[in-house]
Copies of this chain bind each other. A is one copy, B any other.
């Protein structure tokens, strides 16, 4: 499990509260690791017990008290250990592929519509990523260290979304062709 490690990486970049982390997991980090606020709170609690992070309680008035977490030395050690550990390739669970593969058991046009929906969502994401790339990393060749690594992860997101958009387009075209062929055969019969 890498949620704790994703949190360690994020907290090392900048200490923060569970709430703040949850919002980071809605954007930047969330582009390659999904997590809800409940998962994050639960995990932070456990990490605190393991002394991987320290919590500084800050009483506020006008708004709820908060706990600012920072990575501690044992946490940094754990991260280093994990970074060098060999991991398995990510397990894939791709609903849309299941739907495409099962399309002929239902209405293929409906499945195609679903593919089109996903295509648009991925295209939107791709635009977002490309906008971030342009704005935050205008000169990639000058990057190094942490900034370079952030950029490379973003590049991964761009490549992944692009591949998905292209695949959806391939599927849509092929399925449209299949419908045309079928109706032509109907006409011949």
A: residues with CB less than 8 A from B are 2, 5-6, 8-9, 12, 29, 31-34, 76, 79-80, 82-84, 86-87, 89-108, 110-111, 114, 117-118, 121-122, 143-146, 148-150, 152-153, 155-156, 159-160, 162-163, 166-167, 170-171, 174-175, 178, 181-182
User: Nearest chain B CB to A42's CB is how many angstroms away?
Assistant: 16
The answer on a CB contact under 8 Å between B156 and A167 is: yes
Question: What secondary structure prevails in chain A residues at the interface with B?
Answer: helix
A84-B70 Cα distance, complex, nearest whole Å: 45
User: Nearest chain B CB to A145's CB is how many angstroms away?
Assistant: 5
The answer on a CB contact under 8 Å between B33 and A97 is: yes
| CB neighbours of A170 from chain B (8 A) | 152, 155, 159
Partner of A101, one of B118, B121, B150, B167: B150
User: Nearest chain B CB to A179's CB is how many angstroms away?
Assistant: 9
Closest to A7 in B: B98
| CB neighbours of A98 from chain B (8 A) | 2, 5-6, 9, 32-33
| CB neighbours of A153 from chain B (8 A) | 97, 100-101
The answer on a CB contact under 8 Å between B93 and A2 is: yes
Partner of A97, one of B110, B114, B156, B181: B156
